[in-house]
Structures are given as C-alpha cells and as structure tokens.
Chains A and B, each alone.
Chain A
C-alpha cells in the first residue's frame, strides 16, 4: 500500500522555471505600461517637432508672402510692358524703309528706263502666319523705255526687285499686268517707244 502525503499547500508550491505564468504576467504588464508610456512620449515628441516645423514654416511664409505678392505684381507689370513693347516694336518692324528703297531704285534702275509714276499703297489686315495683324505693301511703277531692247529693259527692272537687296528680302511677287507693256500712246513718241507697268507685292509684315 502506498501513501501520498502533501506537505505543501497548492499555493505554497514553487515553480523553479523562469517562465512562471505569474512572472510572465508581471513582465507583460510592465512591458505594456512601458509601451504605452513610450508611445505617448514618442507621439508627444513627434507632435512637438511637427508643431515647431509648422510654426517656423508659417513665420517664413508670413515674410515671404509679401515678397511673393510684390513679385506677382511685378510679373503682371512685366507682362504688360512686354505686350506694349512688342506692339511698339511691331510699328518699327512693319515699316518699309521707303527712303532706302527709293535710293536703291535710283541706283539700280536701268538708264534706258524712265519711271513716270511711283505709287506705294498699304493695307493693314489680318493675314500672314496665324492670321496675325500685318501690313501689306504694294508698289506700282509706271515708266517708259524704248528701242529694240525695250522688253529686256522692263524684264531687267523686274529682275532687280526679285534679285537685288533690299527688295528681294521683302518682295513676294513682281508682275507686269497684262496689256500694260504697250506702245507709248503719247504724242511725239517714236514707234519703238513703250510704256509699262510693274506691280510689286511685298510679303506681309507682321506686327
């Protein structure tokens, strides 16, 4: 017969293992409290840092906002200035250097050609690239020439506008209107004398 005697009460029993549930529970509770404290402290710290950053940014912005407004105003004024300046430069850029043209024409015109009329007209229209406002100049020349080379003289004058600067840079077309090259109708003109007309159309000069 065996006899079992308990000398210890159940609550008096000791467990030698370090993984005692009570100890584990204490550690767990301690860790939980520590975690809560750390989380709170970390959140507080992060909040303080972000608050300071925000305040410092707001202070910088308060100073910068005034300068940005000044810059924006200057930007607007600059845009207006550019517009006005561009428009004014359009006046300079679209004008035809008439005096230079007259001078070159006098120099280059064949001696056997006598100009009797020079007429230049201008129309300000929407045209050119992107339908922009532009000036269109047209030059009408009338003159007389004579001799067996009369037609060549007129062609020579036509070629001047096509090939010689400053005309060639600005001219779109040079035409002799149909029927304009004909016998000189004036009294006293020789049989070989001819009158002619030239129409010189310039390329649109965009404002």
Chain B
C-alpha cells in the first residue's frame, strides 16, 4: 500500500491504521484470548476439584481395602455368634429354645431343677445420644437344689456353653433338712437380636 504524499495525510493514515490495529488486537484479546483464558481457568479449577475428589476417593478406597479384612472378620464373628450363641425364638417362644439346654446341663451336673420361670425380654439402659441397642436381654429364673460343687459345675457348664450368657443373680441357701443340698435360684440372661440385622451386603472393594 502506498502512503499519501502529503505529510499530514500520511500521519492521519498511520494514526488511523495504528488505532485500527490496536482495536483489532484489543478485539482479539477480549473476544478470543480472554474467554479462552477464562475457560482455561475454569477448566483448571474444575480439574483441581475433580483431582481433589479423586485423591479423597483414592484414600477412601485404599483404606476400605485395608479395612476389608476387619469387616470380614467382624462379619464372620457376628454370623458365628448369631448362629451359635444368640437365643432365637422357637415359634415365638424364647423359653422353648433355652429350656432343653438348661435341663440337660442340670442333669449332667446333678442339679435337681424344680422350676424354670420366664422373666422375658428387657431393654438395657442406653446412654443419652447413643444409638438404639441391637440386643435386648432375655432372662429366665432357674430354681432347684444341689450341693455347692454341683452348683459350681452347673454354672461353669452354662458359662462355657455360651460366651454371651450372663448369670446375673444367684442365691444359694443352706437347708436345715439336708445340709448337702442347698436351695438354688439362678437368673440367667442372654442377648437376643431386636430387629436390625447384621449388615451382610456391603460392596466388596477391589
């Protein structure tokens, strides 16, 4: 392009050209560069957030893999306790499910039973703010007569048969008519599940 010959006109053209070019640069920067940079910043921010979440998720998954062993161990112990040690009702009656075991133990240890009375289900106290209990207490009162050693063997056999069974009351009274056979009254309690089951369907973390 040839510039005008007149100096004044030439300066005018140059100034106009400069202004035009500056406007073009400004337009390019504001319409293309800045939006691109803004989107780049947004992308970077989003990527940072996702990366942070990824790191947290990675930690969670990693720790869950480590805790998986504990989970499996607890679940297995709870399942074993549920099938072997927790009292389950037979046709709605807890007494039916424990009576045979008590009578057999008494026969084996030479304790004469004169009665088994049901105390029933009881709720144990809960600390303020604590979640509801999974277990309630089911209790019975066993009445009979036996010598001190037989009573001891009877209680030992009961305690050994179930690690969660608790002997919560006992009364041994000497009898004037037969000093070798004491009057015996024992209260026995077991934990029973009250509704919520042990979780079994947790996702396996690979």
Q: A interface vs B, CB < 8 Å?
A: 10-11, 22, 25, 29, 32-33, 35-36, 39-40, 43-44, 46-47, 49-51, 53-54, 57-58, 60-61, 64-65, 67-78, 80-85, 87-88, 91-92, 94-100, 102-103, 106, 115-122, 124-126, 130-133, 135, 207
CA gap between A33 and B75 in the complex, in Å:
71
Which residues of chain A are near B64, meaning CB under 8 Å? 70-71, 74-75
Interface of B is mostly: helix
* B94: Cβ under 8 A from any A Cβ: no
CA gap between A80 and B67 in the complex, in Å:
14
A-B CB proximity, top 6 nearest: A70-B203, A99-B156, A77-B202, A50-B43, A68-B57, A71-B64
Asked if A83 and B134 make an inter-chain contact with CB atoms under 8 angstroms apart, the answer reads yes
Interface of A is mostly: helix
CA gap between A118 and B183 in the complex, in Å:
10
- Could you pull out 21 A-B pairs where Cβ atoms are within 8 angstroms? A32-B25, A36-B24, A36-B28, A40-B33, A43-B34, A43-B37, A46-B36, A54-B44, A54-B50, A61-B53, A61-B54, A68-B56, A68-B60, A69-B203, A88-B78, A103-B156, A106-B149, A116-B174, A121-B169, A133-B126, A135-B166
For B153, give the chain A residue with the smallest CB separation: A99
For B193, give the chain A residue with the smallest CB separation: A84
Interface size range on B against A: 35 or more
CB distance from B172 to the nearest CB of A (A): 4
Q: Please, what's the 1-or-0 string for B71-102, where 1 marks a CB less than 8 Å from any CB in chain A? A: 10011011001000000000000000000000
CB distance from A124 to the nearest CB of B (A): 5
Which residues of chain B are near A131, meaning CB under 8 Å? 127-128
Asked if A92 and B164 make an inter-chain contact with CB atoms under 8 angstroms apart, the answer reads yes
Within 8 Å by CB of A99, from B78, B127, B159, lies B159
CB distance from B3 to the nearest CB of A (A): 9
Asked if A73 and B60 make an inter-chain contact with CB atoms under 8 angstroms apart, the answer reads no
Asked if A25 and B14 make an inter-chain contact with CB atoms under 8 angstroms apart, the answer reads yes
Within 8 Å by CB of A91, from B24, B77, B125, B135, lies B135
Which residues of chain B are near A11, meaning CB under 8 Å? 5, 7
Report which residue of A84, A87, A135 has the largest number of chain B beta carbons within 10 angstroms of its beta carbon: A84
Asked if B32 and A124 make an inter-chain contact with CB atoms under 8 angstroms apart, the answer reads no
Asked if A117 and B44 make an inter-chain contact with CB atoms under 8 angstroms apart, the answer reads no
Which residues of chain A are near B125, meaning CB under 8 Å? 124-126, 133
Asked if B124 and A58 make an inter-chain contact with CB atoms under 8 angstroms apart, the answer reads no
User: Which B145-194 residues have C-beta < 8 A from chain A?
Assistant: 148-149, 151-153, 155-156, 158-159, 163-174, 187, 191
Which residues of chain B are near A70, meaning CB under 8 Å? 64, 203-205
User: Which B35-53 residues have C-beta < 8 A from chain A?
Assistant: 36-37, 39-41, 43-44, 46-47, 50-51, 53
